[in-house]
Chains A and B, each alone.
Chain A
Amino acid sequence: MNMIRLLALGLAILALSHTPFAATAQSSGPLRIEITDGVIEPLPFAVPTFQAETGSAGPYAQEISRVIAADLSGTGLFREIPSSAFISDITNFAAPVQYADWKAINAQALIAGAVSEQGGQITVKFRVYDIFSGAELGQGLQYTGTIDGIRRIAHQVADTVYSRITGETGYFDSRVVFVSEQGPKDARRKRLAIMDYDGANVKYLTDSDALVLAPRFSQDGSRVLYTSYETGQPQIYVLDVASATRQAMGTGGGNMAFSPRFSPDGSSIIFSLEQGGNSDIYRMGVNGGAAQQLTSSPAIETAPSFSPDGSRIVFESDRSGTQQLYIMSANGGEAQRISFGRGRYGTPVWSPRGDLIAFTKQNAGRFHIGVMRTDGSEERLLTASFLDEGPTWSPNGRVIMFSRESQGETGASALYSVDISGRNLRRVTTPDAASDPSWGPLQN
């Protein structure tokens, strides 16, 4: 009996002593809240003019600072705080940052830098600060280049800043090839041109003797595929960007070939070939050889685009009676329809991130640029106008550039860009009318 009593006593003591102990442990837990609503606003940042560490670097420092600010502001994700609002300035690149002064003007990011020039070589040093955290974002970096490449250096700095704040790679140090247009609609002259992503440094790659269409960058940005009517009927050419030399691909064989696009590894191309009123999709080695037919439908099938891993192809087809989007293996075979909305879908382009497909949609007399998941879900229309078409992705898959043509006889085509969220629709400044953009990769 005594043993039983002792055992019962021990259990009672254990239970009694644990009850308040548990309460103590529970009472020591932190307060918990969940935040599900925030704001979507451009992040305020400050870019004081970079310090000129040599006497001749002043103008370059000024230009570089302005290009960086324009790059970041142009994304729609950032808002530059004008220098007139600054309380303090960066007088010395190595000096500590006065966080309180930048907090006071609500600058949430600060880009401080210095530029030096010696013997035609430009050196740019910079640091990015998270003001409210009171810490530097990443480590300081330094870029070196020639004087005529200061815009590229500025773009590279902006890409780094963009990456450190947003967490994704930038797209400023990239180029766009497009069709430059001149003249009225009924007698328009077209030629290939290349420019920086922001419309600067425009250079023409072809003359305007022959009609050119649909230029497409290779994955490394060294070559451009395009369609030319030089021989009277559309044929595919490949152009070397550095030397501006071109070469016919020999894809037509007497028939019309168009809508070419490189495979991700650059070893082959896919294109549409029209034979007897029926167009199908073909694949061919970049160095020539026999073309492999990927589709064999009596319908019109064109505008193929590889997935980033090169395993699948998205294209448009009217095999169902209306123009819709389909996905098939890169080697052909059964295709799966992914667009089921109202209207007609065309010119699909796979995102470089692989998660989305951009397209042109025509419905109820309006044209739209939209995106959808690769399975056709979550379709979102980003634009609407009289004529929007030809989307192309930025290297980071965040922005889409396309051509928009205004209505009327005097209407002209221009390039626009829009964030995949549908915000920040902007016109890309070009010297002439422009269409059919193709966004190339980052150059660095």
Chain B
Amino acid sequence: MKLGYYISGIGHGLLIFWLLFGGLFTSSRDTPPAPVADVSILSEEDFAALTAPPEGPPEPEPAPEEDAEEAPVPPARPEPEPAPDPEPELEPLPDPEPPAPDPAAPAETAPDEDTTPPEAPRVADEVIQPPDDPAETAPEAVEEAAPSPEPTETPVEEQDAAQPEAQTTEIVTEAETPTSSPTASLRPRARPERPDPVETAEPEPTPDPAPESEADNDPVADAIADALDTPDPGAGETQAPLGPPITSAERDGLRVAVSQCWNLGSASTDAMATTVVVMVRMAPDGRPQGVDLVSSNGPNQSATQTAFQAARRAIIRCGANGYNLPSDKYEQWREIEMTFNPENMRLR
């Protein structure tokens, strides 16, 4: 029992000692705040002068760094995507002689196989949704762009009248906290400006962040604006050619068209039990340009080869005159991943 008292007493003693004298150690570490007290004593102007310059440079710096890091990332993904050639032997190029496509294929196929499979599971469920959102935002921005002169002018006038009053109350001390309200007011300015650069050219996003940061002198707003602006041009690039989403009727039409030529009458029993996934590269006129094997669950290579041949034959044969696909949505069916599942066919 006494041992417990001793331990408790020692522990409490140490705690009291640390509370009394621990500040000495911590204060030595917090030496930088000490000069801050001095600065507060000097004057508000000096404090504002000291705080403004340090905040400006550090915040814009990380913002562009991250933007610069993230900006190249999006293009890095699209790069592997467009090249979906899988296997050299299965190269379905229209060249009459197989040896010609074979040598060229390996260079393309190696990266394609690596990139396409991981993307498939991720994007599969949400492919349709992304194009919808950007498609909606683009027209909104365009619509706002036309009437923007009138609405933008009115709010700006109101803010100009209100801002001086607010500035008089507390100007510098809470310059950072009111940033939330300025950022909200800045966004409407940035949005109407985006469609213009998107429509005209890609490099315009870069000038957008510059004037905003300069005008506001708010690092938080600048950084957020930079973050918003950098992805916007990227999204604008994909949004513009995507067009409206593929409808279920258009999708079904394509499915039926390919099904009519998918003939398993000469397939082996193993091939009849093999599901193959192929990537079809489409030309703008609706004709298949190339068919590559993406994956298969065949019990052996022969069955996989036969199942792939039947799928490729179906795609090419029924697409000889071009599939009936909307040309304004070409970006959405430029590449089509088709899964040929013969499970129902085996029962016939």
Contact = CB atoms under 8 A, between A and B. Distances in A.
Contacts of B53: none
B264 A37 contact: no
Interface stretch (A13-21, A111-119, A311-319): A13-21
A9 B341 contact: no
B127 A10 contact: no
Contact of A27 (B232, B242, B259): B242
Interface stretch (A133-141, A176-184, A190-198): A133-141
**Which label, helix, strand, loop or mixed, suits the secondary structure of the B interface?**
helix
Given A16-B227, A17-B67, A32-B124, A24 B302 contact: no
Interface string B57-72: 0110011001100100
Interface string B271-308: 10000000100000000000000000000001101110
> Interface size bucket, A side?
35 or more
Interface stretch (B165-173, B196-204, B217-225): B217-225
Contacts of A77: 265-266
Contacts of A78: 266
B98 interface: yes
Interface stretch (B4-12, B18-26, B140-148, B328-336): B328-336
Interface in B113-161: 119-120, 122-124, 126-127, 129-131, 133-134
Interface stretch (A61-69, A84-92, A148-156, A164-172): A164-172
B126 A26 contact: yes
A398 B238 contact: no
> Interface size bucket, B side?
35 or more
**Which label, helix, strand, loop or mixed, suits the secondary structure of the A interface?**
mixed
B66 A10 contact: yes
B345 interface: yes
B260 A99 contact: no
Given A27-B238, A38-B263, A132-B316, A96 B74 contact: no
Contacts of B31: none
A43 interface: yes
A97 to B, nearest CB: 6
A31 interface: yes
Nearest to B314: A38
A26 B344 contact: no
Interface centre among A31, A77, A108 (most CB of B within 10 A): A31
B109 interface: no
B244 interface: no
A10 B227 CA distance: 10
A2 interface: yes
7 contacts: A17-B70, A26-B122, A39-B260, A39-B261, A39-B265, A168-B268, A398-B268
Interface of B: 54-55, 58-59, 62-63, 66-67, 70, 73-74, 77-78, 81, 84, 92-98, 119-120, 122-124, 126-127, 129-131, 133-134, 176, 219-220, 223-224, 226-228, 230-232, 234-235, 238-239, 242, 246, 251, 254-255, 258-271, 279, 302-303, 305-307, 309, 312-314, 316-317, 320, 332-345, 348
Given A12-B224, A168-B270, 16 more contacts: A9-B219, A10-B66, A13-B224, A18-B70, A24-B234, A24-B235, A24-B238, A27-B127, A32-B124, A35-B255, A38-B264, A39-B259, A43-B263, A78-B266, A97-B96, A133-B94
Interface of A: 2, 5-6, 9-10, 12-14, 16-21, 23-43, 77-78, 96-97, 99, 103, 108, 130, 132-137, 165-168, 398, 420
**6 tightest Cβ-Cβ pairs between the two chains A and B:** A167-B306, A20-B231, A38-B262, A29-B123, A27-B130, A30-B335
